[in-house]
């Protein structure tokens, strides 16, 4: 069991560092506002390419539920902003679509 712990911790550290560095460095405050904001949002934007393909590739028999969940998240993120509400709504909508389609 100990052989699995070290790679997991190293992987967690390797993914944590790039996501947290933009919040700790102070030179971002000296950059132009648009560039500073883009660099601060980069760790969040990395989730899209990681999650989006998996939704359609893992739920091939239920593509409509994945599309419904992503659509709900997109609409809420576009109009309301933030991350928590779109993620939770995506989970709920996908779950309900899977229940109704079953």
Query: What pLDDT score was predicted for residue 93?
Result: 92
CA distance 77 to 88: 11
Encoded tokens for 83 = 């991350």
Category of 32 on φ-ψ map: left (φ > 0), alpha (ψ -120 to 50) or beta: beta
Query: What pLDDT score was predicted for residue 92?
Result: 93
DSSP code, position 81: -
Query: What pLDDT score was predicted for residue 17?
Result: 80
The helix or strand, by DSSP H or E, that contains position 93, with its residue range, turns out to be helix 84-101
0.75 exceeded by the pTM?
A: no
- Measured CA to CA in angstroms, residue 52 lies from 36, 71, 73, 98 at distances of 25, 11, 11, 18
Other beta carbons within 10 angstroms of residue 97's beta carbon come to 19
**pLDDT 10s digit of each residue in the chain, 102 long?**
567 788 888 888 888 887 777 667 776 677 788 877 777 677 666 667 777 787 778 777 888 888 898 888 888 888 877 778 888 898 899 899 989 875
CA distance 89 to 98: 14
In this predicted model, what pLDDT tens digit does every residue of 38-53 receive, in sequence order? 776 776 666 677 777 8
């Amino acid at each position: 069991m100990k052989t699995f712990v070290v790679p997991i911790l190293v992987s967690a550290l390797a993914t944590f560092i790039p996501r947290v560095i933009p919040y700790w460095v102070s030179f971002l405050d000296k950059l132009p506002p648009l560039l500073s904001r883009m660099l601060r949002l980069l760790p969040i934007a990395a989730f899209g390419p990681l999650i989006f393909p998996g939704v359609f590739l893992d739920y091939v028999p239920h593509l409509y539920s994945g599309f419904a969940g992503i659509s709900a998240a997109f609409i809420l993120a576009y109009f309301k902003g933030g991350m928590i509400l779109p993620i939770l709504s995506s989970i709920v909508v996908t779950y309900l679509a899977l229940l109704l389609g079953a």
